[in-house]
Amino acid sequence: MSALTALRRTADGIDRRTPAHRDRAVDGLRALALLAVPTGHWLLGGFTLDPEGGLHNASPLSAVGALAPASWVLQMLGIFFLVGGYASVLSFRRRTGSTRAWLKGRMVRLGRPVLGVTAVWALAAPLLYAAGVPEATLRTGATLVVQPLWFVGVYAVVTALTPYCVRAAGRLGGWAAAPLLVSVAVVDFLRYGPAGPSMPSWLSLLNVLPGWLFAYQLGVDWGEGRIGRRGARLLLVGGVALFAVLLTVFHYPASMVGVPGRTRTNSHPPSLLVLALASAQSGAAILLRDRLGRLLARPALWAPVVVVNLSAMTVLCWHQTAMLAAAVPASFAGGGVAGLTTAPDGAGWIVARALWLPVFAVLLVGIARYARRFETPPTAGRRGAAVRGALAGVLAAGFGAFALGLA
């Protein structure tokens, strides 16, 4: 039997086992948003080498400003939160136990993979240092590993707010997310407006929760049937118009991710530009839902979506490790390796980095074969589970302190 025939049979098997009520379009949107995370980090994150061979973070956005529009496509966290809100409200409505039990199950699913990656790195870092990996490289690697994990913390918080989002959708309908947008707009005006220089630096932190809850609330509204095609068109057109005005009139930074050396950033914490993009993406996603669902009725297209969704947290937690698995050995090669350990200073680097993306993907698949075990819920009553969990927590805390420069 040829490999192609085997793949077709596997895809057909996955298709047959998929329940008829499964919303393939929503799963497809989640997979698309999820894959944008490693693609963005791998394409827009580079390294430089110091004289001692240590790796340091660098970004091609510093040298190639024209690359900023790529971040508009690769920044798909708005879609991720939209789909998260949609799926959460459906799961919340189907729960058979208490709200507390439902939330506990969700938190375990989010927390175990995070503890897994940080605990493994906590054990691996001393061994790598003993093997000759410079401390600078280890600190750079630790920073990259924890960089995507902030998302898990924010997502856990907005998930915990699901019951309140449901109530808001019941009272305000499709407009339930509007107060969140207004809140971010007010904070942006205070920190970027005439009084900006006198505002405290912590003011921007007020945007963290409403900024990311915005798209999640839209997802809850969508799941509750409060947003239809008319509302979706309003989100799309309004989001695009607001995005254009913020860029051209109010001169928001064009990049959706932070650029080294720039004082203003759109994503950490989220600015109004992030919400404008999330609005446009959400409107487009809702409008394209039926078409995407028909497309994913094909087994060959549906099977990869299932695989990606089953490994969602593994992809999120381990994709930076896959890039480091290539970059750290390459850092020992004299003169640097193009697109990997050379400075991201132009179009040539971008082409070279693009050629490395399949290598990173293969390494991630290899890592995922072992790391996916952290997505499996613990067996109830299994002896030693509590002790292992406590030990993983201690290791994770130590690694976090190292990554944040506290140790």
- Confirm if 25 and 293 have CB atoms less than 8 A apart: yes
Q: What is the pLDDT of residue 2?
A: 73
Residue 259 reports pLDDT greater than 80: no
The three-class DSSP label of residue 387 is helix
Report how far residue 25's alpha carbon sits from residue 35's, in angstroms, rounded to the nearest whole number: 15
- Confirm if 82 and 218 have CB atoms less than 8 A apart: yes
- Confirm if 205 and 70 have CB atoms less than 8 A apart: no
Q: Name the token pair of 231.
A: 């509302």
Q: What is the pLDDT of residue 65?
A: 76
328-to-128, 325, 385 alpha-carbon distances in Å: 10, 6, 33
Residue 134 banded pLDDT, cuts 50, 70, 90: very high
**Average of pLDDT values for 256-269?**
81
Report how far residue 59's alpha carbon sits from residue 81's, in angstroms, rounded to the nearest whole number: 26
Q: Name the token pair of 135.
A: 């401390």
Residue 380 banded pLDDT, cuts 50, 70, 90: low
Q: Give which of 396, 360, 363 is closest to 41, Cα–Cα.
A: 360
128 belongs to a structural domain: yes
- Confirm if 365 and 325 have CB atoms less than 8 A apart: no
Report how far residue 270's alpha carbon sits from residue 299's, in angstroms, rounded to the nearest whole number: 38
Q: What is the pLDDT of residue 407?
A: 61
Residue given tokens 């077709």 in the structure block: 8
Triad 65, 255, 176: Cα angle to 5°? 165
306 belongs to a structural domain: yes
Q: What is the pLDDT of residue 280?
A: 97
353 belongs to a structural domain: yes
12 belongs to a structural domain: no
- Confirm if 267 and 209 have CB atoms less than 8 A apart: no
Residue 68 banded pLDDT, cuts 50, 70, 90: confident
146 belongs to a structural domain: yes
Q: What is the pLDDT of residue 379?
A: 63
pLDDT digits (tens, 9 = 90+) for 146-179: 988 888 889 999 999 999 999 999 999 999 999 9
Domain encompassing residue 136: 24-403
Residue 386 reports pLDDT greater than 90: no
Query: Using omega within 30 degrees of 0 as the cis cutoff, is the peptide bond preceding 269 cis?
Result: yes
**Any long-range contacts for 189-198 (C-beta under 8 Å, 24+ apart)?**
192/250, 192/264
- Confirm if 254 and 69 have CB atoms less than 8 A apart: yes
Amino acid identity for residue 116 in this structure: G
16 belongs to a structural domain: no
Do β-strands 46-49 and 55-58 pair in parallel, antiparallel, or remain unpaired? antiparallel
175 belongs to a structural domain: yes
- Ranges 9-18, 244-253, 343-352, 370-379, most confident: 244-253
Q: How many independent structural domains does the chain possess?
A: 1
Instruction: Report the percent of the chain where pLDDT is more than 70.
Output: 97
Q: What is the pLDDT of residue 6?
A: 81
Residue 81 reports pLDDT greater than 70: yes
207 belongs to a structural domain: yes
Q: What is the pLDDT of residue 385?
A: 67
Q: What is the pLDDT of residue 378?
A: 67
What is the overall mean pLDDT for the chain? Answer: 91
Q: Which residues of 97-135 are buried (b: 16+ CB within 10 A; e: fewer)?
A: eeeeebbeebeebbbbbbbbbbbbbbebbeebeeeebbe
CB burial of residue 51 (10 Å; 0-12, 13-18, 19+): exposed
Q: What is the pLDDT of residue 1?
A: 56
Residue 8 reports pLDDT greater than 80: yes
DSSP 97-119: S-HHHHHHHHHHHHHHHHHHHHH
6-to-46, 79, 176, 296, 401 alpha-carbon distances in Å: 37, 33, 48, 20, 46
Helix, strand, coil in percent for the chain, rounding step 5 = 75, 0, 25
pLDDT digits (tens, 9 = 90+) for 83-132: 999 999 999 999 988 999 999 999 989 989 999 999 999 999 999 999 99
Q: What is the pLDDT of residue 3?
A: 75
